[in-house]
Structure 1
Amino acid sequence: MTMKKLKGFTLIEVLIAMIVLAIGLLGLAGIQAIGLRNNQSAYHRSQATQLAYDMADRMRVNRVALTNGNYDNGATSANDCEANSCTPAQMAGYDIAQWNAALADQLPGGVGVACIDSSSEDGTSAAPACDGNGTTYAVKIWWDDNRSGASDQRFVTTLRP
């Protein structure tokens, strides 16, 4: 009579163990998903940092256009300055065009601006808030980190000519 009661009890133990294991595996999958999302976010921030420094280096190399203000909210140029000779102003436009293409290619919803700005930690991708005051250039980059459709992350670096 005691043997019949023990057989059913073992089956309940196995069922409870399976439920605990399933909950543990679901928790592990959730942790993995959070880790992947944070890793992607860190990758985007690294790309933004690299692209901001790329633009700052382009500006430092073309010192004439930098001091003339050609990079301050500058327009892009259709000139191919790698194949043809260009003026410093045309080279600045070419740099901006190349940089904008790299932003769009390497960051989701990536946009950016290089401008003279006295308070670099403001603005949005739609309104960069470049005031034109002072002598400090701000290189501002925005991208959509969570793919919501809004450029919600920003990276800013500054340089002085």
Structure 2
Amino acid sequence: MNKVLSAVLASLMLSAPIAGQAQESGATVDDLSVDMIRSAETVTLEEFLWIKRPVVVFADSPADPRYVQQMQYLTSDLHALDLRDVVIITDTNPAERTPARTALRPRGFMLAIIDKDGGVKHRKPLPWDVREISRAIDKMPTRQQEIQERTDGLPRG
């Protein structure tokens, strides 16, 4: 994780407990963010194919107010995103031609939601909160199939 991303995350999180079930287990935002939030400099979108749903946050600077707001939204409920197999990828350096930036070609701030099949499902020029992102993901066919498979495995009674 690069220094800029680390500083932004540290200021956003401050080891706040996660809402919901993770809070009961004592997990903190830091616990999930280590695995869930990655710099675009260290990953490719292809490595998450059929494994995770990348939510990619682009900005021209980590000081962009839209980027700061988006990261606050995302870190406010990492548990809900974790349930949906989300990985958050950040890219705030347009000079660094990362694979994600080359593939998605953002201009300024952009939020991209990518499904496990590698398809870009949403591109947004403004921050979205976790509720909006969760709803968008829950409408995806691959997510619908996951939900169906989980309910099919439950005993009826």
Q: Which has the bigger relative contact order, CA under 8 A and spacing at least 6?
A: 2
- Who wins on radius of gyration, i.e. which is larger? 1
More helix, by proportion: 1
In the superposition, the TM-score normalised over structure 2's length comes to 0.26
